[in-house]
Copies of this chain bind each other. A is one copy, B any other.
Amino acid sequence: MNNASSNGRGSDAWSGSWTHFRVDRRSPRFCRVTFDHPPINTITATTVAELSELVGLIEQDADLNVVVFDSANPDFYLAHYDTEHDPGRTAALGVGPTGMHAWLDLLVRLARAPVVSIASIRGRARGAGSEFVLACDMRFGSRENTVLGQFEVGSGVVPGGGPMARLARLAGRGRALEILLVADDLDGPRAEQYGYVNRLIADDELDAEVAAIATRLARFDHDAVVRTKAYVDQVTLPADSEFPPALADFFEMLGRPEQRERSERLEALGLNIDSDLERRLGERVVEALPNG
């Protein structure tokens, strides 16, 4: 399928100089990606650029069956997006091969890739972090240590990376509306009950069980895996057209003066660092509201 990966040049690209995650190509069929962007694994323009490049490698690799995404930080899987006080950096990411903004583009391409993607979740995954795991094919969470949520509405904006499209299908209308509109944290048991994750695994067994699943998948016939996934994709993936309008809303609302004030208040309370605010963001996001 892809000469670069077939003739070995691909491995150079895989071991490239990633800065927000580490890549461990455990075998030709199995790759492990570990988010490692201290202090709390925020997603920035750099993360998006690196993930876009990684998804390109994943898409074009004729051997790879499975990629597992986990985190080096047990408290934060992927905190959420951080514009780093410079929305221009995010805007400058431009569009990807699908014609969509780089963030939507990489999520859509990952979901559609001829590879099984698994999110092995320990710690917090909110906002864009939640959007990332929702774009993975499967989600396994630590029973004791999983926090998922889309806090965006609580901070004044529309979630931009597709959770309306994806949660509506996974959790059904009522539960998706609760997750998105009440905008509070879900712990592991509620996330499992709502279909937000496939299922929970005891924290001390999570790594081993996900590795066993991935090792099993790595042994399977590549063509059987890819074709079967494609049939599920056809009836479960949202139409591409569902995504851009909400991201446009997100950017528009982010630029409003009152939203800048809310962001500044959240930063003053501890946003983007390992703080009590970040640990209880679902509950405390309301403190930045005008009547907070």
Give A contacts to B, CB under 8 Å: 116, 137-139, 152-154, 156-159, 164-165, 168-178, 180-184, 190, 192-193, 195, 197-199, 213, 216-217, 219-221, 223-225, 227-229, 231-232, 234-238, 242, 245-246, 249, 253, 286, 289, 291-292
Contacts and interface: CB of A to CB of B under 8 A. Distances in A.
Contacts of A221: 153, 156-157, 289
Given A154-B220, A238-B235, A138 B228 contact: no
A160 to B, nearest CB: 10
B174 A173 contact: no
Contact of A177 (B138, B153, B219, B291): B138
Contacts of A193: 192, 199
Contact of A246 (B157, B169, B231): B231
Contact of A168 (B176, B182, B223, B235): B235
- How many copies the complex holds: the figure is 3
B177 A225 contact: no
Q: Nearest 3 A-B pairs (CB), nearest first?
A: A173-B236, A164-B231, A156-B221
Contacts of A183: 220
B219 A116 contact: no
Contacts of A184: 216
A84 to B, nearest CB: 23
Contacts of A180: 228-229, 232
A139 B178 CA distance: 9
